Copies of this chain bind each other. A is one copy, B any other.
Amino acid sequence: MGTEAERNGEWAEVTPDAARRLLTAGVQAFAERGYHATTTRDIAGRAGMSPAALYIHYKTKEELLYRISSVGHRLALGILERARDGAGGPAERLADAVRHFVRWHAEHHTTARVVQYELGALGEEHYAEIVGLRRETDAAVRDIIEDGVRTGDFDVPDVRGTGLAVVSLCIDVARWFTSDGKRTPDEIGDLYAGLVLRMVGCTGHRPGDHR
Contact = CB atoms under 8 A, between A and B. Distances in A.
Interface string A171-200: 111011000000100001001101100110
Copy number of this protein in the oligomer? 2
A135 interface: no
Nearest to A191: B161
Nearest to A182: B160
A192 B199 CA distance: 10
A50 interface: no
Contacts of A171: 172
A36 interface: yes
A152 interface: no
Contact of A172 (B34, B158, B169, B201): B169
A117 interface: yes
Secondary structure dominating the interface of A: helix
B121 A195 contact: no
Q: Which of A120, A188, A195 has the most CB of B within 10 A?
A: A195
Contacts of A164: 176
Contacts of A121: 34, 37
A162 B194 CA distance: 10
Contact of A198 (B37, B188, B199): B199
A191 B169 CA distance: 14
B172 A192 contact: no
A168 interface: yes
A162 B183 CA distance: 13
A142 to B, nearest CB: 15
Given A36-B36, A162-B191, 12 more contacts: A33-B120, A34-B121, A161-B183, A162-B195, A164-B176, A165-B169, A165-B191, A168-B173, A171-B172, A172-B172, A198-B198, A198-B201
